[in-house]
Amino acid sequence: MAVYVVPQVLVTLTRAAPASKVSPTNSHFIGGKLLAKADGKDFGVVNVFALDSTGKGVKNKSVEVTGMGEEVLTGVTDVNGKASFEVKSATGGQFKLTATIDGVAVGKVVVVTFRN
C-alpha cells in the first residue's frame, strides 16, 4: 500500500493599495489636438494625467484648465488618472493653457491655436 503526502500551501493574495497622492513632477499636461477652426464648434483636446510618485494614475482628483479667457474648465480624473477637455473658441489666436490638480500646478503650458 502506497501513501502519498500532499503538501498544503496557503497563498494569500492582496490587492495593491490604490494610488492616492499626486506627484506634480510626475503628472502631465499634454495636447491631443492643438489646432482647430475658430468657429465655436471645432475643438482642440488637452489631457491632464494625475500620477503618483511611482507613475500610477490617481483617480477622483479635481482638475482645472485655465487660459481660455475667463472660462475655467473643470473635471475629475478617471480610474487611470486622466481628465480630458475639449476647448473651443470663436476667436482666432493662440491660447496658453495651464492646469492644476487639486489646486497644485502641473508645470507645463500647452498652446492651442484657433484659425479663422
Domain that holds residue 70: 28-115
The CATH number of residue 60's host domain is 2.60.40.10
Asked if residue 100 is part of any domain, the answer here is yes
Mean pLDDT of 41-47: 97
Give the per-residue pLDDT at 59: 97
| 14 located within any domain | no
Q: 25: helix, coil or strand?
A: coil
Structural domain total, the chain: 1
Residue 60: pLDDT over 90? yes
Which DSSP string do the residues of 43-86 spell out, in sequence order? -EEEEEE-B-TTS-B--S-EEEEEEBEEEEEEEE--TTSEEEEE
Q: What is the pLDDT of residue 11?
A: 47
Residue 18 domain flag: no
Query: Residue 62 to residues 12, 14, 59, 81, 85: CA-CA distances in angstroms?
Result: 35, 28, 9, 10, 13
- The reply to whether 9 falls in a domain is no
- Asked if the structure places residue 88 within a domain, the reply is yes
d(CA 65, CA 101): 9
pTM: 0.81
User: Is residue 65 pLDDT above 50, yes or no?
Assistant: yes
Domain assignment present for 65: yes
pLDDT band, very low/low/confident/very high, at 81 (cuts 50, 70, 90): very high
